[in-house]
Structures are given as C-alpha cells and as structure tokens.
Structure 1
Amino acid sequence: MSVFASLVERLADLLQPLFGASATAAAIVLFTMCVRIAVHPLSRAAARGQKARTRLAPRLAELRKKHAKNPERLQKAVLELHAQEKVSPLAGCLPSLLQAPAFFLMFHLFSSGRMAGHSLFAAPLGDHYADALSNGGVWGPAGLVYLVLFAIVGAVATYNYLRARRQPLAVPADPSQPGAGVATAMARYLPLLSFATLLSVAAVPLAAALYIVTSTTWTAVERAFLYRDMPAAGALVTPA
C-alpha cells in the first residue's frame, strides 16, 4: 500500500508547478494511465483473441451442426480448434483481472483519509457526491466537478453501448449446454453495464472516481483502436 501512496505523492510533487492544488488529482489520472499502459500488451492479446474467435465463428457453427447430438464430442472439437488456432477463451479477461488489484489498493488508499487536504478544483478528493450535494448542491462548486465527470462517463458509456451493438454477438460454442442461454443474454445486455459506472462515480470517494473515469475512458479509446477492423453486426452471420 505504501508503494502506491508514495508513487502518487511523488507524482503529485512533480506536477505541483503545473496543477497547483489539483496536483494530486492529476497524479491519480497519470497513475491510472501508467497502469493501463502496463496492461496494454495484454489488451492487444485479448483483441487478437477476439478477432480470432470472430473469424472462427463459421467453423464453430459447422461443429455445432456436425456434433449436435454429441455434446462431449462438440466440446472436444471446440477445444481442439482453439488449440489449433492458438486462441485462448480467457484472453479477454486478463486485462480486467490484472487491473482489479490496483483498483482495490487505490480505493483503500483513497478511503483511508490520506486524501484529506487534496482537491480537484473545489471538490475534496476524499469526499463523495453526497458531500457535494450537501455543500452547495448540484450546481455548487463541488457539484459542478461531479457533473463534468458524469458527462464524461455518460458519453463514454453511450459510445461503448452503440459500438457494442454494431459488433457480432458472441455465441457459446454449444447453445444446448446449461447456462448457454444466460451467457448469450449477458453478452447481449452487458454493454448496458457501462452506464452503471455513473453509480460507481457517485458512490466512491472522488479520488477513486477519477481512477474509474480515467480507466473507463482509456478503455473506450483503446478498444476503438484495437477493434477498428472488427466486422459490424450483420456482416458476420453465425447460425445458432
């Protein structure tokens, strides 16, 4: 924990001449970007895996048709195809899994009182949105800071949702397996969870909200770049 705290504090000292009282907030944004840069190679690997799975969708459909009455043989054939094409079903999860420890450590740091005395313009980094509402209301100095963050998150969430709607829907290799319907439904409605970030920003301390907003925005830009050549929904038809 002290390593993270020391890193943020040193970054804040370096940024003090440029950002003044908001140097710690700028340090949090810069720290978040450093975390995302460190994870970026895994994000690239996840993108390659997703593109490969999209490319394999017609062959997976053929396997489902061929082994429709033999689930065990279908599962084995799918695993063999993934191994042959060097596609890992878990590749897309790795970036998020590796970011989780950094987020929870930073959240603990932000909630431990060490943000006392630091602010982003008029909003203290240790306060929550409820504190901003009780000290000036929605249009107060601190409330306006949150409105800007909400606007950024809302724009990113809308972009993510619209972009996800244009991408091919991920379909389980064997729709007859238990839970396959749930997985398909989750894939269909998961983009809506982007809007839940608005609730997170309102619920956590402002310092943690900066981490979330920065990481969410980075993800949107990163995915737009890495998946720019993915086919749109309808360009790839995968039979059920």
Structure 2
Amino acid sequence: MDLSTFPPIAVVLGGLQSLVTTLGVLVEPVAGASAAALGVVLFTLLVRLVLVPVGVSQVRAEIARRRLAPAIADLTRRITDPEARSKALMALYASEKVSPLAGCLPTLAQAPVLTAVYSLFAHAEIAGHANTLLTHTLGGAALGANLVVTLGTGFAAVWPYLVLLVLLAIVVELSRRATLRFTGPATVATTGPGQE
C-alpha cells in the first residue's frame, strides 16, 4: 500500500505540490524556462526557514550535552550500579534543566517535513493526478529522473547531477561550519582549566 494515497497525506502532498507550482508561476517572468526549478529552490528555502527553530533547538541541546559531558563521565565512572547511575543521571538532568531527549525530539520533528518534501519528487502521481513537477529540470538534471538509471546513459546525461552533488556537498559543509561556529564558543566557555 502506498501511503501517499492515504487521503490526509494525499491532501498535504497535493497542497505542497500546488505551493511549489505556484512559486514557479510567480517567478516565471524573471526565471523563464527555469521557473519550476527556481520554485523548487524557493520551496526548499521556505522549508529550511520553517525548520530554523528546530535547528536552534538541536544546537542548544548539543551545547547542553557538551556542557554536561564531564559530569556525566564522572557519574558513569563513580557509580557502577546501573539503577543508581540512572537515578543520578536523571537527577543531574533535572538539576541542570536539560532533557536527555533534547537532541532526539528536534530530529523527529523534522522527519515528517523532510519525508513530505521527498515524496513530492518520488511519486509520479500525487492526490490522484500526474505530478507535473517531475517534468521539469534543474541545471539540466530532470527532477523526475533516477540517478542510478541515468548513470547508465553516459557522461553527457550525468554531469548535471555531478554538479548538483558538488553544490549539495558545499551547502552541507557550510552548514556544518556554521553549526561548529555557533556551538564552539559555548563549549570553550564551559571548559575550565584542567577539564580539557
């Protein structure tokens, strides 16, 4: 059974497809033939903007974990009884007002959004009609194409995908560096002499 045909999910996917299509129509006077691809890029930016609070929550959770790491390591070293260690860890988390699940919850919150975005480009049919998003291209790469199948057609068809993969790698690296820059000073500030 395809979950994308389940009525509530189909309605959400249909709405997302309409949003991406509308964004493409809005930028068509500026972008011309690349309007659909630019609509996808704008939609992706909107999704990232919506997920900023989740990302901030993840960074805060990481800062809290780094701050508590020495105390957790000390408790783990000192207390050998698993039940007593668990109680001591829960007491530590409570006293520091940190949830042990703080890093997991933001990730779980992102999952439905990212799954819906992925589904827009994984299904030939959405909400009972053809998925027109798959007929457009982005930088020469067809949005509805499968990279594995395209690899068999030769370099001329594959190079746009390679360019997109390089761009994706650059975006991921920039995001990683931004996260490190954001979390770095907090960990330095909480590390005192002799705790390094």
The alpha-carbon distance between structure 1 residues 43 and 121, as it changes in their structure 2 partners (threshold 3 A), is closer
- Does 1:152 pair with 2:167? yes
Contact 1:132 1:143 in 2 (8 A): yes
CA distance in 2, matches of 1:67, 1:130: 52
Q: Which amino acid aligns with 2:71?
A: R
Instruction: Report SS of the residue matched to 1:91.
Output: coil
Could you say which residue in structure 2 is the equivalent of 1:75? 86
TM-score of the pair, normalised by structure 2:
0.74
- Does 1:28 pair with 2:43? no
CA distance in 2, matches of 1:41, 1:18: 31
- Does 1:3 pair with 2:18? no
TM-score of the pair, normalised by structure 1:
0.62
CA deviation after TM superposition for structure 1 residue 81, in Å? 0.7
Could you say which residue in structure 1 is the equivalent of 2:127? none
Deviations 1:74-108 (A, max 9, x none): 11111111111111222222333222212222322
Could you say which residue in structure 1 is the equivalent of 2:106? 95
Larger radius of gyration: 2
Deviations 1:94-127 (A, max 9, x none): 3332222122223222123312431113222111
Q: Gaps (5+ residues) in structure 1?
A: 160-216
Q: How many residues align?
A: 174
Could you say which residue in structure 2 is the equivalent of 1:125? 143
Instruction: Report SS of the residue matched to 2:90.
Output: helix
CA deviation after TM superposition for structure 1 residue 146, in Å? 0.8
The alpha-carbon distance between structure 1 residues 24 and 95, as it changes in their structure 2 partners (threshold 3 A), is farther
The alpha-carbon distance between structure 1 residues 10 and 128, as it changes in their structure 2 partners (threshold 3 A), is same
RMSD: 2.7
Residue 43 of structure 1, aligned match among 25, 42, 55 = 55
CA deviation after TM superposition for structure 1 residue 38, in Å? 1.5
Structure 1 residue runs of 4 or more that deviate by more than 3 Å after TM superposition? 130-135, 153-157, 235-239
Contact 1:35 1:99 in 2 (8 A): no
